Structure 1
Amino acid sequence: MGNPRNGLTDSSDWGCDMHGRDLATRGASRRGFMKGGALTLVGTSVIPAFLKRSVLAEMTTAATNNKKLVVLFQRGAADGLNIVVPYREKNYYAMRSSIAIKQNEVLDLDGFFGLHPALASFKPLYDAGHLAIIHAAGSPDMTRSHFDAQDYMESGTPGVKVTEDGWLNRALQAEALKGKPSAFRAVALGTQVPRTLQGKVPAIAINNLADFSVAGRGPQTSPISNAFQAMYDESTDAVLHGTGQETFEAVRMLKAADPSKYQPADGVAYPNTPFGNSLKQVAQLMKANLGVEAAFSDIGGWDTHQNQGNVNGQLANRLKEFSETISAFWKDMGQDAENITLVTMSEFGRTARQNGTGGTDHGHANVMFVLGGQVKGGKVYGKWPGLANEQLNEGRDLTVTTDFRRVFGEAAYKTLGSKNMDIVFPGAQINPKQFLEFL
């Protein structure tokens, strides 16, 4: 038996779950639940019979895979060395006289690395095998510009500024489709579609589900919904246009559910912050069974040049919100978390040495988290480069030993089924045989 995952237990026999039920039967019952869940969401009296059939066909199509990828961006360059602390490195303490996390304060992971104590809600996820950590990950490009580094990480083409689309959009392009995709296939929580999701595959941005309305179909409309309708109205493809009209009715279904009254699972409390609210809405969209395959959100406030703090302070506060939100999302999804992979990223790390104002400056390598029902967690992945002075990048930063595209690539390959890595990360030569095998 493997690690228990959300009340389930891994089995070497992939033909049945821990209770011995045939997976094909379980899949059928899950689809039945999804149909019932979608209708129960709003009640059936306001939905025409032809629309029920149309929307449910789309839900069933999405359910054939049932995998979902959630990507989170920590904007501002998070300090990976104080997030997952290499507390056995003597030079770590020599270089961080006032901001280091003491050995007796870290949440030990493996005898060498430990979590910042503000990440206490991550520890049970790690111990249960849900959470994997990749340290010394980052971009081969050496820029220390927030703008350029974020652009390169979202486009997936470090050093190339002319790339028009994002890696996550290309991952969806590289996916083998079965049937028609949902218009909710790619969703970002925010006021605009992020660089990561821009491209040929239609993606929508939703800042607040409660405010989302169908353009031209109600007393009030929003720029988001207007753009959403235009995305389909401009199409000359009758099939796509038809799908769009059905999707507007699906949006009506979502609106009828009264998103403002959404109740997370029992015992789940999201932080009352923009980031907390965004992941709560991701959970809501996924539970509504609208065919979401990829979701994106971000959280700022990681640029700690001054007064970074140690176990308390600026970074600790951000980490507490970050981890408690993700933990709440995991619990809220319940058994559906079995099919979710969540990956975090930040444009680069911070300098190994603290600066003269109690903070850290723009660095290089960083740490990434991967959370999911199929994740081989409870382990820190990657090659550790060391923190001795001669091991530092340019004499000042943690050295990158894992290209961030290997992490994203494995997540897309094994979660979305994006088999063509040349499409997802052109020029990177990402070979599935070189994946870290955290999934």
Structure 2
Amino acid sequence: MKRRELLKALGYTGLAEAVSLRNLSFAAQPNRTLVVVFLRGGADSLHMAAPVNDRNYLANRPPELRIIEGAQNAGLRLPKGFAAEQDCRIHPAAAPLLDLFQSGHAQLLHACGLTNATRSHFVAQEILESSAQTQSRPIASTPGWIAPFVRPSITGKSVDFAATSAGQIRSLQGLNSGINLVGELRNGLSLPGDTVGRSVLEALYANHPSAPGSDPVLQVGRQTLQQLALVDDKAPRINGRITSYMAPKSVSYNTENYDWQQAVQTVAQLIRMDIGLQVACLDLGGWDTHEYQSGKINNLVRQWSANLRALFDDVQAAGKHTTMVVVSEFGRRLRANASGGTDHGHAGIVWALDTQARGLLPPTLWPGLATDQLDQGMDLQQTRDVKQVLADLAQRVLT
């Protein structure tokens, strides 16, 4: 029974006067965390998941730029295809994710993109990460797309969001109750001057009679110090110093890309700390594969999928309700270019992993790969609006 329903029942039956409500306790809703992974550069969705026996796919791409079947390094067949009567597979380097698809913990939505397509990285990322729907309005003044779904902390004793990239994260614009931690957590909490530096900052942002309490700079400074102190208090230590993250023995992180490994482990550690984390944003760049795509994407998919799976296993082992969604600003063209790569396209993939095995993505509306089915005769057609898909997912996870 919900709290409101119980109080209403007590009021109607006259028991409110006979029962001391101060002695009643109500189970809190478990904290849910949404992890947003942005593949910067325009990931080639048709080299990550594809209908491998589609004759148009076979005709337009050399073997090294497509997922293949029935041979060495064949793609991994999905238990449920996204294109009717087609053999749908994911890249072989994404092997760590396969059993999550088989168990219902992973989904993908193909042919998903911006309704106002653009081939500009900057414009596409700005539209995707903002709450604006089109390029026609001033995008810079709009909040990030995640902002409407984050519940502001009532007590102020939580870290509502975290990011692992330097600078402001566009998706989080409009929120002020979070922190950016770059590199290992122990490095991210190292302030200039260590304890002396912290004392200086605390004095700088302390209450002063001459400083109005509504001063936004003071408010942000105090809040940031409070959140750093909260993380600092929860972080494990040896001899008084924060230690490197030690994942459970059953969890294996890929160490090839140090920055990506540390970003994912930092998020795992923050989720395990129970600091009220609602959203975490991570970036993995390098997906702008205009040339020599085959080797690059093999490495990227291997590193990305291995650590995405490690993060999933890590938080699931801790019993944390976590959803991971993966996007890129756009996909790439069906046809390969002369440099062994692919150029900027339109529709791509949204990936979702959920520790509760909830179906959070709608089914793919596969448009086909024949020339007359392509966007401008070149690109995979967008059949679902990625911004609406992300908003619906965030609504279900965070509210």
The TM-score normalised by the length of structure 2 is 0.79
Instruction: Report the Cα distance in structure 1 between the residues aligned to 2:207 and 2:41, rounded to whole angstroms.
Output: 35
- Pair 1:62–1:385, CA change in 2 (3 A): farther
The 3-state SS of whatever aligns with 2:365 is: coil
Give identity over the alignment, percent: 31
Offset of residue 337 of structure 1:
5.6
How large is the Cα RMSD of the aligned pairs?
3.3
- Pair 1:395–1:248, CA change in 2 (3 A): closer
1:36-435 alignment, distance < 5 Å: 64-98=29-63, 99-104=65-70, 105-109=74-78, 110=81, 112-157=87-132, 158-160=134-136, 162-163=138-139, 164=141, 165-172=143-150, 175=151, 179-208=154-183, 209-211=185-187, 212-213=189-190, 218-220=195-197, 236=213, 246-254=226-234, 257=237, 258-272=241-255, 273-309=258-294, 313-336=295-318, 339-376=321-358, 381-417=363-399
Offset of residue 232 of structure 1:
10
Q: Give the corresponding residue for 1:36.
A: none
Structure 1 gap segments, 5+ residues each: 1-14, 16-23, 25-59, 418-439
Instruction: Report the Cα distance in structure 1 between the residues aligned to 2:27 and 2:332, rounded to whole angstroms.
Output: 40
The 3-state SS of whatever aligns with 2:135 is: coil
Partner amino acid, structure 2, of 1:278: A
Residues 158 and 230 of structure 2 are in contact (CA less than 8 Å); yes or no, is this contact kept in structure 1? Answer: no
Larger mean CA deviation between 404-413 and 316-325 belongs to 404-413
Instruction: Report the Cα distance in structure 2 between the residues aligned to 1:387 and 1:235, rounded to whole angstroms.
Output: 62
Larger mean CA deviation between 260-269 and 343-352 belongs to 260-269
Offset of residue 91 of structure 1:
0.1
Q: How many residues align?
A: 351
Instruction: Report the Cα distance in structure 1 between the residues aligned to 2:111 and 2:300, rounded to whole angstroms.
Output: 21
* Cα deviation code 1:211-259 (max 9, x no counterpart): 21457871456xxx969x9699988259x78866654532431456344
Partner amino acid, structure 1, of 2:390: F
Instruction: Report the Cα distance in structure 2 between the residues aligned to 1:340 and 1:97, rounded to whole angstroms.
Output: 38
Partner amino acid, structure 1, of 2:48: I
- Pair 1:178–1:378, CA change in 2 (3 A): closer
Instruction: Report the Cα distance in structure 2 between the residues aligned to 1:150 and 1:374, rounded to whole angstroms.
Output: 29
Residues 159 and 277 of structure 2 are in contact (CA less than 8 Å); yes or no, is this contact kept in structure 1? Answer: yes
Instruction: Report the Cα distance in structure 2 between the residues aligned to 1:330 and 1:235, rounded to whole angstroms.
Output: 45
Instruction: Report the Cα distance in structure 2 between the residues aligned to 1:304 and 1:321, rounded to whole angstroms.
Output: 16
Instruction: Report the Cα distance in structure 2 between the residues aligned to 1:411 and 1:378, rounded to whole angstroms.
Output: 6
* Cα deviation code 1:52-109 (max 9, x no counterpart): xxxxxxxx99963411110000000000011011113110010002422222211111
Partner amino acid, structure 2, of 1:114: R
- Pair 1:281–1:338, CA change in 2 (3 A): closer
Asked which structure has the greater CA Rg, the reply is: 2
Residues 232 and 244 of structure 1 are in contact (CA less than 8 Å); yes or no, is this contact kept in structure 2? Answer: no
Offset of residue 314 of structure 1:
1.1
Offset of residue 184 of structure 1:
1.3
Instruction: Report the Cα distance in structure 2 between the residues aligned to 1:414 and 1:185, rounded to whole angstroms.
Output: 17
Larger mean CA deviation between 85-94 and 347-356 belongs to 85-94
* Cα deviation code 1:267-310 (max 9, x no counterpart): 2221222112101010001111111110000100101111111x
Offset of residue 323 of structure 1:
0.2
* Cα deviation code 1:160-212 (max 9, x no counterpart): 5623321112322xx4x573354411110121231111114433211132121
Structure 2 gap segments, 5+ residues each: 4-24
Partner amino acid, structure 2, of 1:355: N
Offset of residue 409 of structure 1:
1.3
Residues 48 and 67 of structure 2 are in contact (CA less than 8 Å); yes or no, is this contact kept in structure 1? Answer: no
Partner amino acid, structure 2, of 1:271: N
- Pair 1:314–1:244, CA change in 2 (3 A): closer
* Cα deviation code 1:305-346 (max 9, x no counterpart): 11111xxx1111100000001001111113446511110110
Instruction: Report the Cα distance in structure 1 between the residues aligned to 2:360 and 2:276, rounded to whole angstroms.
Output: 30
Offset of residue 261 of structure 1:
2.6
The TM-score normalised by the length of structure 1 is 0.72
Residues 189 and 206 of structure 1 are in contact (CA less than 8 Å); yes or no, is this contact kept in structure 2? Answer: yes
- Pair 1:65–1:147, CA change in 2 (3 A): same
Offset of residue 402 of structure 1:
1.0
